[in-house]
Amino acid sequence: MITALACAIVTVIAVNFRRLPSLRATMDAGANAAVLPAMSVASLVGFGAVVAAMPAFAVVRDAVLGIGGGPLVSLAVATNLLAALTGSASGGLTIALDALAATYVTRAAEIGLNPELLHRVAVIGSGTLDSLPHNGAVVSLLAVCGSTHRDSYRDIVVVGIIGGLVALAAVIALGSLVGSF
């Protein structure tokens, strides 16, 4: 994969060499533009690790495991809450699977639920409430676009949160009816 990426970079530079006024200046500008998003995401992933280490996290974990509606609904709520708390889909998903996977796999096996469906629900669930205002991707998107939370966050909610919740509900409903797809 790294070799393919390096070959692609060399090819793009070779094909567009005359269009690049100064290769070094272009590379410097790209590197400088990458620092803000990388630092935002890194700080929020660190925030997620701190949240998971807090004693209150055990309360959240226990509350999530007590939610009714079966393992699909409980897992969806768990990944949504953890993604919201951490501000990161990957952080919320990692924490949820590290802390809760064995419990949900056991519960799913007891009722004959496909583990692949559990995984789909977990992934979709983690990608909904992670789009709250403190999410690194949201902060980076707004910074790159030169916009503010006040001007653009309503649109992000409609696309990133409401759309994701609708998709999550559809997957849970279809998965409950069909078993897997």
pLDDT tens per residue across span 20-48: 778 778 788 888 888 877 886 677 667 76
Q: What is the pLDDT of residue 8?
A: 93
As a whole number of angstroms, the distance between CA 68 and CA 74 comes to: 7
What the block records as the tokens of 176 is: 């409950």
Q: What is the pLDDT of residue 54?
A: 83
Q: The whole model's pTM is what? A: 0.68
Pair 169, 105: CB distance under 8 Å = no
Length of the chain: 181
| 82-91 mean pLDDT | 80
Pair 71, 120: CB distance under 8 Å = no
Q: What is the pLDDT of residue 59?
A: 86
As a whole number of angstroms, the distance between CA 58 and CA 54 comes to: 8
Q: What is the pLDDT of residue 48?
A: 65
With 90 as the cut, is the pLDDT of residue 169 above it? yes
Share of the chain above pLDDT 90, in %: 22
Place of tokens 């789009």: 131
